[in-house]
Chains A and B, each alone.
Chain A
Amino acid sequence: MIELSGITKSFNSGKPNQFTAVDNVTLTVNNQQITVFKGPSGSGKTSLLSMIGCMARPTSGRIFLHGVAAAVPFQQEGVDSVEITSLPERFLNQIRRSTFGFIFQQFNLVKGISVLENVMLPAYPTGEGQALFRARALALLEQFNIARLAGQRVELLSGGELQRVAIARALINNPSIIIADEPTAHLDSKLSQEFMAIVGRLKGEGKSVLIASHDPIVFDSPLIDALVEMRDGAVVASRSSR
């Protein structure tokens, strides 16, 4: 479970152009569920997800991760939750690497290297033996029916193939939480539905999935468990389908 308490994120604090992207959000996101953050551009979805994913720190408020302690190397024995907002950068990186997998709007794959290398990219600095994560990457490509593309450079792939490579990359370190930011923004309806089907499978494997989207195919999907509506940095509505 992810618990957000009074989270605020301001940019250019104290300057005339100060801007509050997330305003005093208190929220609970359950484990092993699909939670969709819905709202127009600039509503604070991406900023909120980047703080949950240890990519940025809130200006104020606290974020607790419950039930993910096994993936946090420095966690004290017997304590099942970790408060991430006060952790030093190094620990945040470790949590980001081991607990979260990211799928970006533009996929953010590295051009010029192969599909397989792109998928393995998050695992390179972990210090794990390459044979291990290479086998895992190949298994993921197999799982998403793109094993035949393993040696191909990513710039030669179609939109649907790119998306599946991005999902495989997000899963390489076996994270328990997947964060997807506008994942269907560049996909047609068929591919968007295919994406939701994959997300449903991930939930079935016990992963928590957090999606920021204003695509009806995503937020109207019967697969989602919770919907959080945002506007101007604040949560305006929140409902659970379960």
Chain B
Amino acid sequence: MKRALERHLNILEFTLASLLRRKAKNLSLLAMYLLVIFILASLQFFVTALKREAAIILSDAPDMVVQRLVAGRQDLVPARYAAEIANIRGVTAVRPRLWGYYYDALNGANYTIIANDDPAIGPERVSIGAGVAKARNLAVGDLLPLISYDKAPVMLEISTIFPSNSDLIAADMIIISPGDFRQLFNFPSGQATDLAVMVRNPKELPTVAAKIAGQFPDSRPILKNEIQRTYQSIFDWRGGMTLIILASALFSFIIFAWDKAAGLSAEERKEIGILKSIGWETSDVLLLKFWEGAVISLTAFLVGTVLAYGHVFFLSAPLFAQALKGWSVVYPRFQLVPVVDVYQLAVLFFLTVVPYTTATIIPCWRAATIDPDAAMRY
């Protein structure tokens, strides 16, 4: 056992000395490899953390949202629906919601405007997300000018700017009073954008939804888990799109790595012959080549993963956050909570380290099985 361990250690040490001999080749390979691992691991960390973030935020969402459809499109919901839905057994609360989008022609951004009857947000007062504040260069106490449906300016005083830890959801958000909302958009009274429904027992949600759909044939109840699923799919889709773009880079790397790892130079072949002639077995040579591949790929994997961790969780992924977060003008700025999906990391390991190490060993097999006396004839 001790001898076997010593054999590994000795061959590993020789591997390191051997790798240093071809510094330029191995360092360029390591750099390429590291870059690919870094990008893939960053992407993976980022998407996983975003999905988790979205799931946490959506946990405060209503159990069900009821919309109304007209000609297959979402339309306003009459407020009377709320009173009737509240009477359904199992429903604990129904809240009509007023919200919409506001296009800011000044900088091309779209804001989400929500009406809230919280007394803290009184008439002519507004709370805004950090993204809006940055886009319009505003501070608490400043006036936010918005243009109403009839092109008249509506001046609102900023009472709060949401902290950046709520940026994922609130970066582009503007919260105003229901009165200001209706004035801004000429929103008809007695109508709501949709209804937020709370249900006592989550297991009853499908039943309650079916009752609502039966009672109001033009309604569309959307369950909380459906919203969560949609968010997950959106981030998966964004991650997938980015992955497809990166795939070309990945394939280039694979071709490059295969060429570098699989091609045995005449000098390497001769060395293998020398090793065989001085008493190395085929398995010793293969072990040497295995360690050569493993040292490069493991170093690239570990360093690339650690750099990706820093890039995503300490620097908030500046390299491709804009492609993944999803806002076009107003980007959220927030610190992601570190979360690592071990399964996905293992997949990345098996898709990168294992093929490379194998690519290093296979071409050596033939060279390593030559008769040792071949070296006598060089």
- Are B378 and A106 neighbours in the complex by a CB distance under 8 Å? yes
- Are B375 and A125 neighbours in the complex by a CB distance under 8 Å? no
Contact A124 to B378, CB < 8 A, known contacts A50-B373, A110-B274, A113-B21: no
Contact A126 to B7, CB < 8 A, known contacts A96-B279, A113-B18, A117-B17: yes
Query: Which residues from 6 to 39 on chain B have a C-beta closer than 8 Å to any C-beta of chain A?
Result: 6-7, 9-11, 13-14, 17-18, 21-22
- Are A127 and B6 neighbours in the complex by a CB distance under 8 Å? yes
A130 at the interface (CB under 8 A from B): yes
A111 to B6, CA, bound (A): 24
Contacts of A23 in B (CB 8 A): none
A126 to B284, CA, bound (A): 10
Contacts of B287 in A (CB 8 A): 125
When the two chains form the complex, which single residue of A49, A55, A109, A111 contacts B371, counting CB atoms closer than 8 Å?
Answer: A55
- Are B10 and A130 neighbours in the complex by a CB distance under 8 Å? yes
When the two chains form the complex, which single residue of B2, B10, B21, B372 contacts A124, counting CB atoms closer than 8 Å?
Answer: B10
A112 at the interface (CB under 8 A from B): yes
Measured CB to CB, the closest approach of chain B to A49, in angstroms, equals 8
- Are A125 and B279 neighbours in the complex by a CB distance under 8 Å? yes
A203 at the interface (CB under 8 A from B): no
When the two chains form the complex, which single residue of B6, B372, B378 contacts A128, counting CB atoms closer than 8 Å?
Answer: B6
- Are A102 and B14 neighbours in the complex by a CB distance under 8 Å? no
A130 to B16, CA, bound (A): 15
Say whether chain B's binding surface is mostly helix, strand, loop, or mixed: helix
B203 at the interface (CB under 8 A from A): no
Query: Which residues from 76 to 100 on chain A have a C-beta closer than 8 Å to any C-beta of chain B?
Result: 89-90, 93, 96-97
Contacts of B378 in A (CB 8 A): 104, 106, 108
Interface centre among B2, B279, B284, B287 (most CB of A within 10 A): B279
A69 to B307, CA, bound (A): 56
When the two chains form the complex, which single residue of A105, A111, A117, A173 contacts B279, counting CB atoms closer than 8 Å?
Answer: A173
- Are B7 and A104 neighbours in the complex by a CB distance under 8 Å? no
A111 to B378, CA, bound (A): 15
- Are A97 and B279 neighbours in the complex by a CB distance under 8 Å? yes
Assign chain A's interface to a size class. 35 or more
Measured CB to CB, the closest approach of chain A to B125, in angstroms, equals 74
- Are B7 and A127 neighbours in the complex by a CB distance under 8 Å? yes
A181 to B372, CA, bound (A): 14
B226 at the interface (CB under 8 A from A): no
- Are A102 and B278 neighbours in the complex by a CB distance under 8 Å? yes
- Are A90 and B281 neighbours in the complex by a CB distance under 8 Å? yes
Binary contact readout A111-138 vs B (1 if CB under 8 angstroms, 0 otherwise)? 1111001000111111111100000000
A46 at the interface (CB under 8 A from B): yes
A123 to B375, CA, bound (A): 18
For B11, give the chain A residue with the smallest CB separation.
A124
- Are B278 and A122 neighbours in the complex by a CB distance under 8 Å? yes
Binary contact readout B197-227 vs A (1 if CB under 8 angstroms, 0 otherwise)? 0000000000000000000000000000000
For B20, give the chain A residue with the smallest CB separation.
A112
A121 to B7, CA, bound (A): 12
A47 to B371, CA, bound (A): 12
Query: Which residues from 187 to 222 on chain A have a C-beta closer than 8 Å to any C-beta of chain B?
Result: none
A126 to B377, CA, bound (A): 25
B275 at the interface (CB under 8 A from A): yes
B271 at the interface (CB under 8 A from A): yes
B366 at the interface (CB under 8 A from A): no
Measured CB to CB, the closest approach of chain A to B128, in angstroms, equals 64
Measured CB to CB, the closest approach of chain A to B286, in angstroms, equals 11
For A98, give the chain B residue with the smallest CB separation.
B279
- Are A122 and B376 neighbours in the complex by a CB distance under 8 Å? no
Binary contact readout A127-160 vs B (1 if CB under 8 angstroms, 0 otherwise)? 1111000000000000000000000000000000
A29 at the interface (CB under 8 A from B): no
When the two chains form the complex, which single residue of A46, A110, A127 contacts B377, counting CB atoms closer than 8 Å?
Answer: A46
Measured CB to CB, the closest approach of chain A to B259, in angstroms, equals 21
A105 to B9, CA, bound (A): 31
- Are A124 and B14 neighbours in the complex by a CB distance under 8 Å? yes
Measured CB to CB, the closest approach of chain B to A233, in angstroms, equals 15
Measured CB to CB, the closest approach of chain A to B11, in angstroms, equals 6
Measured CB to CB, the closest approach of chain B to A96, in angstroms, equals 5
For A212, give the chain B residue with the smallest CB separation.
B376
- Are B275 and A121 neighbours in the complex by a CB distance under 8 Å? yes
When the two chains form the complex, which single residue of A109, A117, A125 contacts B11, counting CB atoms closer than 8 Å?
Answer: A125
Contacts of A129 in B (CB 8 A): 6
B185 at the interface (CB under 8 A from A): no
B4 at the interface (CB under 8 A from A): yes
Contact A46 to B278, CB < 8 A, known contacts A55-B371, A125-B11: no
Interface centre among A111, A117, A124 (most CB of B within 10 A): A124
The 4 closest A-B pairs by CB, nearest first: A127-B3, A112-B21, A97-B279, A50-B373
Given contacts A96-B279, A96-B372, 8 further A-B contacts (CB under 8 A): A55-B376, A106-B378, A108-B375, A121-B278, A122-B280, A124-B14, A125-B284, A127-B10
A-B contacts, 27 of them at CB < 8 A, read A46-B373, A46-B376, A46-B377, A50-B373, A55-B373, A89-B281, A96-B372, A102-B277, A102-B376, A104-B378, A105-B376, A108-B278, A108-B375, A114-B17, A117-B14, A117-B17, A124-B13, A125-B11, A125-B279, A125-B281, A125-B284, A125-B287, A127-B3, A127-B6, A127-B10, A129-B6, A130-B13
